Amino acid sequence: MSEGLRKYRNKRDFSRTEEPRGQDRAPGEEEHHFVVQIHDASTLHFDFRLQVGDVLKSWSIPKGPSDDPKDKRLAVPTEDHPLEYEEFEGVIPEGEYGGGTVIVWDHGTYEPLSHDRKGRPVDFGESIEHGHATFRLSGSKLHGEYALTRIRDDEAWLLVKAKGDRARPHGTPDPRRARSVTSGRTLAQVAAGQE
């Protein structure tokens, strides 16, 4: 079993949940993907995931990502997720880890921009390990340069939009009214099983 997915798999009963188990595979040279999911579990939040190697590095963002550089969004790391989770939308059964409804709010690709003090590119996985990563998102809703910066041990990070780079002076839309970029459905419609 992939060490990166051990925590993810140990928290789930795949006979009860439709979440993807994930395949063990070597990372490819393909584009870097990201996904933002709205997750109505014990608390309503956004899950922000960046493909790093063969997993999606994941953070829970209570208020969601913002296009406004003045907004500094708390991002709490969660376990790595399989690459297949990028497409997951549905209901996680009550009583299961993360029980609740999930929709894909945004997805797309990203360009790693992390560099050292001399301006040389740094491996993106290493930049996350060191606590500061910069990247440019190209999604359906999110565009431009962002930074993730660790502020306390491994338990808290900040997600901030760069100034000027397609920045807009408004935050995140109401997650209960937001629609999935893949199905066009709201959380309520997914929870009710509506197509």
Assessment of whether the complete model's pTM goes beyond 0.95 = no
**H or E segment to which residue 93 belongs:** none
pLDDT value at residue 164: 78
What would the two tokens of residue 25 be? 């595979």
User: How does pLDDT run across 37-58, given as a tens digit for each residue?
Assistant: 999 999 999 999 999 998 999 9
> What are the Cα distances from residue 176, in Å, to 38, 147, 180?
9, 26, 11
pLDDT value at residue 1: 40
As a whole number of angstroms, the distance between CA 140 and CA 103 comes to 14
* 39 close to 85: Cβ distance less than 8 angstroms: no
